[in-house]
Chain A
């Protein structure tokens, strides 16, 4: 499984996530909704872990628990050796070691792209403003964003916006990037460009990536591993190793191994989607 490309990368030692027996029950006005059911996932440092599952199964819920946006009902979540949440603190503290890239994007529209990217370090206050802006500019240049520094997010294409948001996340030197279907709204051509761009960024800044998606092709192209979730309440249903070596480019999409993995995953995903659909029919 360890191929040439992978061995060339420096070893990532930080950013392992361990989800242990996490349960999340939403209880607005007594109508308990179980979103996550005794879910355990181990993600080694530096892995791109793709979470695939039917609509409404509880993927965002799990991501929000890691990010610290809401509490869990029971269970533990660890980042390396640090317990983010457990029996004593059910809600993790949000922190710059875990940055979320949201489904609809959350760049601040009133700040220019450069100011957006500088936001995290400015809040941290360790570096001077000019050091931060220099770093931001060079990160933008690396990501092919030169020339858009002084534009507002609303003035650039949605593909560029996504890239700005990823660079903004990376400026915080996170251990983990949490993606909640960031490319859902993009057309498939832009998407393929974004995938290669994301991998390129990843090869330069190895972090752990927790990536939620509906799109199997995206999942297999990007991921070291696919975790296919059951319909709600969510827990891992099947884990698929993507033994295609990194660095990858779009040519792997047509490789026979890609097709094989796709076929293996498709059956499970379809089955769960059908369960979710049937459950929805019963409820609705």
Chain B
């Protein structure tokens, strides 16, 4: 196979940025649901490098898919940075497929143009129209978790969102991962 390993500089500086959690209400009854929205973005290294140049380099080396595995969820806070009990979490994959596009818009001089398609969790395909849209589709995550008050228990609770993103080794860089937790929010369950 045609492997020419050429790591992209700064890939190790990939990080999770802007992780946040918000709730649909500050108080909830035991028999009521509450929605928590967790947002995060993968930033730096891989996001910066994720351009059509990188897609072409990978494609040329038969390295035609890039998978981002996310593990995202909500935890209870015990004290400060100490957390326990994952209340809800979800592990999922977003897959970018690099392919030779014949779109005359992407490729007005009819030469080779490697473009990307992203398949979201739930197998929804997205055909991004720009490099920025491709980055947003692959690296910006927003998930809503529905939790019953009874799952939290009576009382006041401090909660944090956690997020981990990981990827495998590719022609353009080593495998890696990044994780982060959000600031805490509180919710009272009556």
Query: Are both chains from one complex?
Result: no
A contacts, CB < 8 Å to B: none
B contacts, CB < 8 Å to A: none
